[in-house]
Amino acid sequence: MTRIILFTALAVVLTLQTKAQQGLKAGDKAPVFTGVDQNGKTVTLKNALKAHRNVVLFFYRGQWCPYCNKHIKELQDSLNLLTEKDVYVIGVTPETKENIDKTIKKTSAGFCILQDKDDEIMKAYQVNFMMDEATFTKYKGYGINLEENNGNTRHTLPVPATYIIDRTGKIKYVHFDPNYQKRASVKLLLSKL
C-alpha cells in the first residue's frame, strides 16, 4: 500500500516532466523497428504486420512499477481475445533482459517483450523522457535504481503509451497519457480493432 501511495505522489512530478512529450497520433505512419525479444528472437514490426492484421505496441517502465505489472497481467489474461482478432502484442521497455525476466515472472507474460537498449523505439514513437536528478534520487531512496534496472546512466523512461498499428503500418489508435497510472484497457483496445 505504501508503494502505491509513493507512486501516486511521484505521478504528479512525472506528469509535469512529460508535458512536452506528445507521442505519435492516430493516422501517422508507425516507425519501423527491430528488436530482440525475451527468447532471443529477432522481431520486426514489418514482419509482425505481414503475419497479423494488427499489432498492439505498448511501452512500460519496468518490473518495479506496480501499474506496469497490472497492465501487463491484464494483457496476458486477455491475450486470447486479442489473438482471436489476429493481433500480435509487443511490449517495449528500457529495462535489462534480467529485469524483463522478472517482469515475466511477476505477470506470466507470454507475448513479445523487447528491450529498448538505446531508447531508439521510445524516441521513434516520441514516448521517451529523461527523469530529472531529484526524481531519480527520490526513486533510488525508495529502492528503485533506474541505472541498475536499465543497465545505463541515462535515466530514460517511457510514457506508458499504447499504439494499435494496422497491416498497412498506419497507427489506428493511441493511448498516450503522461500519468503513468492510466493505461488502455483490453476492452478499449478490442473496441478499436
Which CATH number fits the domain that encloses residue 49?
3.40.30.10
What span, in angstroms and rounded, lies between the C-alpha atoms of 46 and 26? 18
Per-residue pLDDT, 22: 82
Total tally of structural domains belonging to the chain: 1
More confident position, 178 or 109: 109
What span, in angstroms and rounded, lies between the C-alpha atoms of 178 and 119? 18
Condensed to tens digits (0 to 9), the pLDDT of residues 46-66 reads 999 999 999 999 999 999 999
With pLDDT > 70 as the criterion, what percentage of the chain qualifies? 90
What span, in angstroms and rounded, lies between the C-alpha atoms of 164 and 190? 10
Q: Where are the alpha helices (DSSP H) in the chain?
A: 2-17, 45-51, 66-77, 79-83, 97-107, 120-124, 133-141, 146-150, 186-192
List the domain range (segments joined by +) for residue 70. Answer: 2-192
**pLDDT class of 3 with cuts at 50, 70, 90:** low
Residue 151 has pLDDT above 50, yes or no: yes
Per-residue pLDDT, 21: 72
Condensed to tens digits (0 to 9), the pLDDT of residues 12-45 reads 444 444 444 789 999 999 999 999 999 999 999 9
**pLDDT class of 2 with cuts at 50, 70, 90:** low
User: Mean pLDDT across the chain, nearest whole number?
Assistant: 91
Tell me the whole-structure pTM to 2 decimals. Answer: 0.89
